[in-house]
Structure 1
Amino acid sequence: MTECKHFDLWDSGSETVSDWGEKLDQAHDDHLRIRDESINNLLEREDIDQECLNLNKEQKLWSAEEYREQVGLPITCPHETVDGKDYCIFHLSPESRQNLGITKEDVLNELVNKIKKSTGEDEDKKKCFAGAFLEDISIKYRGLSSESNKPVQFHFAKIDNLDLSHSVIDERFVFNGSEINEINCESTQFKKSVSFKKAELNCQSVLFDRATFEDRLDMSNTKINTKELNFKECSFRKRVNLSGMNVEIDLDSKDDIDTRVQYNNSVFHDELHHNNITFSFEDPDKLTEIYAEFKHCRFSSRANFSDCDFQSTLDDNTTDPSPYDLLEVSTDDLSKEDSEHEIEWYVDFSKSEFESGLLLNDLDLLGI
């Protein structure tokens, strides 16, 4: 079998770290500290330019290799190359696939077959699609499972459309560091854990309405650019980690409806980490209200909303509701000089039930 070159960490032609190696190096949490400490050890030497250059390459490779080991990515791509090409069907660019007559349906069918046929150690590796270029993962109204317990790896993949709506997913899905342009997981049943850690979701809508998560959900440090983020009527059986999530609301001046971040009528059976979350927006040019709602939710375990800044700045002519029903999230990034209108952010906990601890540290409840 001819090996696909996508997972090579070193580009022998240019004698530099490959794009894949750079990506894994940057994903390593300690890559900057490792590099700085190593280079600082050479500062007292006279001729260090080449030494530093070589050391920088070596440290990048070491960092990439360690990250690859930490997350369990294979050393080489497990998929066969397309005839006459250096890359497999998943790592060929969409343009190259089109020129070869390979359709997005061909890619999807191959991907699903690789997952379903995973039974042994060698086959398990074929559940890795890290760094893949995937135009469409549409598995709606279907079930997906295999005999293998190894996760399906989409680390750093570029996905145009992810549609798992009304499906039963009996696989661990890992989309860490991936880039997704559309996502629909309405009424999806995730029987195992799913992770979007440090992913980028640049979507018209991010839809998880009525989804069931029987295992953990991790969207920590995920960057989301969208008009709406919906987790309405969801059931979260295990820990939910949304800490550090960065939500950028894309406001369209043609839209008349309010933009909302909704968790209404959802049930959190285990811990919820909703701390250190940033909300921002693009080019606001009209009056609008942006809500983050937790109406009629039930929290059966600890809910963490720490390190947020809630304020009540209702109009003087507005009847002030209960302070814990309507709280405005601080938008420190808003420059009023750049906007003609004020944008209001609210978090609404009305008629929600907290059966365990609610952590609201470092809150600023101005006006209450």
Structure 2
Amino acid sequence: MDAGTGGRCAYVHDSADSEWSCPHDAVTGRDVCAFHLPPSEYDAVGLTDADVSERLLACVRDDTQRHNEFVGAHFGTLDARNVTVESDHAYPVRLTDVTVDGDLRIDSANVVAELIFDGSTVHGQVCLDGTRFVTDVSFVDCTFGGIVSASTTKFEGGVVFARATFEDAAAFDAGATFLEDAVFTDTDFGGPAQFRGALFENRVFFRGAHFTADADFAGSVVEAIATFEAAAFDGETSFRNSRFAGPVKFGGRTDTATTFADAPDFRRVTAEESLDFTEVTFADGVDFADAGFEADVDFTDAEIYGEVVLDQASCGEQFRFAPADADLDTYVSCDRTTIRGGVLHQPREGRLLFDFRQGRLGDVDAQGTPANDAIDFLRFVNTTFDGFDFTTYRPRLEPDYRIHRFDVATDVAPVDLTAREEELTYMKAKAGADRIGDGRCQSGFFVREMRARGQRARDRRKDAGGPREWLRATLTHSYNRAFDWTCEYAEDPHRLVGVMFGVILAYAGLFWAGFRAAGTTLEQGSTTPDAVMHAPVALDYILLSGEAFTTIVYYPAAVLPSWQVRLIAVSESLVGVLLSALFLFTLTRAVHR
């Protein structure tokens, strides 16, 4: 600092590309102006913080361009509360590389002039509450030692905090509004960052921002693009109840991907356009409960460690969940979740266990290595299938078609389903297979549904409140078991053919026993004693049984000598009619499947 000449401030500011000299008049008896005079010398020249603040506002109102420049100024407390900061010309107010030892107060003000605070340091608090910034304001490379508060502040022009450092809390909440671009690129938030309820009507950039403490964006609204690439969230992070009307980008290449050290809270978030989490690291899980994704959501090559919650979330037709790495058993909770389409891909390292309960699954492709093994990591309970293609996974589903359990060894607790819940699960799976025309899977799920229905009847029998209810449940269970045993609920004609031959052989034995009891044989209706002593011809009785099985037989008394034998014939005819009808029904279903 050289000695002043002609009453002009002697302060000269050297920068990398230029040299700036102060245009203001020096204080009497000093070489520098009031703006470059150290606050510790104010008393000596009869100045106060209020005097200096008033002089600055007067210079801003001056119609001389250079009087708006305060480069390298040094203030105690800079106070512009409840005033209108405006200039008689369009040039910005330059407060670059300024040092404020105390507080910076621009609250409840109306700032019409453009403000540039680039490179400045404020050791105290910064209060912008309730202020209206009509045009641009810039805080590039600034350092804030105290709390920065901008509650209910309205930024009508662009606002830039790029590469700024907030050593304490930064509060842009309680209705802070950004009408133009808001730039927080490479900003370091050392204390809690609060954007709760903030409104961004244009683009917002947090690329490379570092949130050392908690970050709260709950209830915020972004009407355009939101960028969080390469951001680092070290504390608790909340986007609960936020709405993104434009594309949101958290991911990118490895050097630009975002990291969450704690589980971020995206509950009840609404994303109207694409949401990009490619290569993002979730170190402790993530919560998307009740979220609404109307467009693409991409988790390609993300790293996910900890539980993922998608309960009651609604996902669009391009939900791509394909992380690169996960824990050995990363649990993905999908309670009442809707995924209309997309990909669920197993990671290269670790496993994802998707647990769908009472949700809806559309045209979703579960992928793994090999591809059809991916179904082993999905569990479905009472889930509606609306386009999910079971055909790909049929080799893993056969023969039991069980989907209400994970088909891999895991520490995840099994679901203890009631018989009714299991019946509904496979009823909906059957309907889903029918929608895509997969008859074999439809058949397998129908068998599971019917067996669960039989178990339900058995449970009702145990809990029967009286003999009538017990009898009804017993008959229902018996019919169900018989239907399963004979033809697997009309899904297995081969089994029914075997049952039919078995019935014919069994009745052949009954005929033989009946004839012996009557003292006769089947040979020409003979009643000679010698015939009784000799063993019957087995084929004759098998043929008689077959005839009785396939026709309504009217035999003379000489052939069927006793009422017991006639009763055997009538009963076999009745059984034959029923089993033959069942065979035709089962065969028709098999052809249809």
- What range describes the TM-score normalised by the shorter chain of this pair? 0.5 to 0.7
Check the 8 A contact 1:311/1:364 in 2, yes or no: no
Q: Which residue of 1 aligns with 2:78?
A: 137
Q: Are 2:48 and 1:107 aligned?
A: no
**Residues 253-276 of structure 1: per-residue CA shift (max 9 Å, x gap):** xxxxxxx42111111111110111
Q: Are 2:280 and 1:363 aligned?
A: yes
Return the alpha-carbon distance in structure 2 between the equivalents of residues 352 and 140 of structure 1: 37
TM-superposed deviation, 1:279: 2.7
2:118 pairs with 148, 161, 176, which one?
Answer: 176
Q: Are 2:240 and 1:298 aligned?
A: no
Q: Are 2:13 and 1:2 aligned?
A: no
Return the alpha-carbon distance in structure 2 between the equivalents of residues 213 and 5 of structure 1: 36
1:192-231 correspondence runs (5 A): 192-203=135-146, 205-231=147-173
Q: Are 2:95 and 1:154 aligned?
A: yes
Check the 8 A contact 1:156/1:176 in 2, yes or no: yes
Match for 1:102: what amino acid? L
2:201 pairs with 264, 269, 279, which one?
Answer: 269
Q: 1:129 to 1:197 in 2, by over 3 A?
A: same
Q: Which residue of 1 aligns with 2:23?
A: 78
Return the alpha-carbon distance in structure 2 between the equivalents of residues 346 and 140 of structure 1: 40
TM-superposed deviation, 1:89: 1.0
Q: Which residue of 2 aligns with 1:11?
A: none
1:57-68 correspondence runs (5 A): 63=17, 65=18
1:183-194 correspondence runs (5 A): 183-194=126-137
Q: Which structure's residues are more often helix, by fraction?
A: 2
Return the alpha-carbon distance in structure 2 between the equivalents of residues 109 and 312 of structure 1: 41
Q: 1:87 to 1:313 in 2, by over 3 A?
A: closer
TM-superposed deviation, 1:196: 0.6
Mark the runs of 5 or more structure 1 residues left unpaired by the alignment.
8-19, 26-62, 69-74, 250-259, 281-289, 315-320, 332-343
Which structure has more relative contact order (CA 8 Å, sep 6+)? It is 1
**Residues 318-356 of structure 1: per-residue CA shift (max 9 Å, x gap):** xxx99x9xx9x858xxxxxxxxxxxx7564444444445
Return the alpha-carbon distance in structure 2 between the equivalents of residues 361 and 191 of structure 1: 37
**Residues 120-178 of structure 1: per-residue CA shift (max 9 Å, x gap):** xxx11101111111112222222221221111111011112111111111111111000
Return the alpha-carbon distance in structure 1 between the equivalents of residues 210 and 99 of structure 2: 24
Check the 8 A contact 2:197/2:219 in 1, yes or no: yes
Q: 1:89 to 1:170 in 2, by over 3 A?
A: same
Q: 1:267 to 1:308 in 2, by over 3 A?
A: same
Return the alpha-carbon distance in structure 2 between the equivalents of residues 312 and 206 of structure 1: 19
| RMSD of aligned Cα (Å) | 2.8
Secondary structure of 2:51's partner? helix
Q: Which residue of 1 aligns with 2:255?
A: none
TM-superposed deviation, 1:2: 2.7
Return the alpha-carbon distance in structure 2 between the equivalents of residues 133 and 144 of structure 1: 19
More deviation, 302-311/128-137: 302-311
Q: 1:261 to 1:145 in 2, by over 3 A?
A: same
Return the alpha-carbon distance in structure 2 between the equivalents of residues 312 and 107 of structure 1: 40
Return the alpha-carbon distance in structure 2 between the equivalents of residues 313 and 173 of structure 1: 33
Return the alpha-carbon distance in structure 1 between the equivalents of residues 69 and 163 of structure 2: 22
TM-superposed deviation, 1:230: 3.5
Q: 1:239 to 1:87 in 2, by over 3 A?
A: same
Return the alpha-carbon distance in structure 2 between the equivalents of residues 114 and 239 of structure 1: 29
Q: 1:176 to 1:348 in 2, by over 3 A?
A: farther
1:244 pairs with 170, 178, 186, which one?
Answer: 186
Check the 8 A contact 1:303/1:357 in 2, yes or no: no
TM-score, structure 1 as length reference: 0.65
1:28-67 correspondence runs (5 A): 63=17, 65=18
**Which is higher, the Rg of structure 1 or of structure 2?**
2
Secondary structure of 1:125's partner? helix
TM-superposed deviation, 1:291: 2.7
